[in-house]
Chains A and B, each alone.
Chain A
């Protein structure tokens, strides 16, 4: 399984962009990078995913390096409600099913 490495924690000032890095140096060519976040006592919330190209949706932007060994999730204008644990995962299909492996994620604290 391709594994991901994320910083344990980060702080971001409210209103500023939050840039959350993720390393996935063993990713293979057909594996997608996914980002989820989990607010205390809730289930993980899907944010965005991508394969090669940069992606943007109403929640965030995903920047994937050309060699695909790392990516960055960007929350353009962080709010207090963005305080959560952010998980970067690599999604693959093996043996007819999709196994998803979560690490310990990055705890993002948005500061007023």
Chain B
């Protein structure tokens, strides 16, 4: 079975530009979460979506937005890119929203570099 897939794998942008990252969850998984991982640190929670609605947001500015589609895939958008947005962006999926005993499964991420 296919795991969580993310595209693109690598991306280079310049300051001020906008970027869209994509995620396809594991088949049957309805919840998608996004994380930012800066070099040398653990992943930081950005958003969680379930049934096309935002269900949780971490401490990130409004430049970060996301959406989930009827097929449960998701996009993360970042506007007005800053150098500090350079990071590995990870998507994770899980079966449902509120079961803490269901593990999240991660994709391999999109490496975003801002010049």
Q: Which residues of A are in contact with B by a Cβ distance under 8 Å?
A: 30-32, 34, 36, 41-46, 49, 51, 87, 91-93, 95-105
Q: Contact at B108–A43, with CB atoms within 8 Å?
A: yes
Q: Which of B44, B55, B100 contacts A102 (CB 8 A)?
A: B44
- Chain A residues, CB < 8 A from B107: 43
Measured between C-beta atoms, what is the minimum distance from B71 to chain A in Å?
21
Within 8 Å of chain A (Cβ to Cβ): is B28? no
Docked Cα-Cα span, A19 to B94, in Å, equals 28
Q: Which of B44, B48, B108 contacts A42 (CB 8 A)?
A: B108
- Chain B residues, CB < 8 A from A93: 98-100
Docked Cα-Cα span, A34 to B55, in Å, equals 21
Q: Contact at B56–A95, with CB atoms within 8 Å?
A: yes
Q: Which size bracket describes the interface of B in this complex?
A: 20 to 34
Docked Cα-Cα span, A25 to B58, in Å, equals 23
- Chain B residues, CB < 8 A from A49: 101, 103
Measured between C-beta atoms, what is the minimum distance from B75 to chain A in Å?
18
Docked Cα-Cα span, A87 to B44, in Å, equals 13
Docked Cα-Cα span, A51 to B50, in Å, equals 24
Scan B65-81; emit 1 where CB is below 8 A from any A CB, else 0. 00000000000000000
Measured between C-beta atoms, what is the minimum distance from B49 to chain A in Å?
9
Scan B31-65; emit 1 where CB is below 8 A from any A CB, else 0. 10101000011111100101000011010000000
Q: Which of A95, A100, A105 contacts B104 (CB 8 A)?
A: A100
Docked Cα-Cα span, A41 to B101, in Å, equals 27
Q: Assuming A30-B100, A51-B101, A93-B100, is B33 touching A100 (CB within 8 A)? A: yes
Known: A46-B106, A96-B56; 13 extra A-B contacts, CB below 8 A, are A32-B101, A34-B103, A42-B108, A43-B108, A43-B109, A91-B100, A93-B99, A96-B98, A98-B56, A98-B94, A99-B56, A100-B35, A100-B45
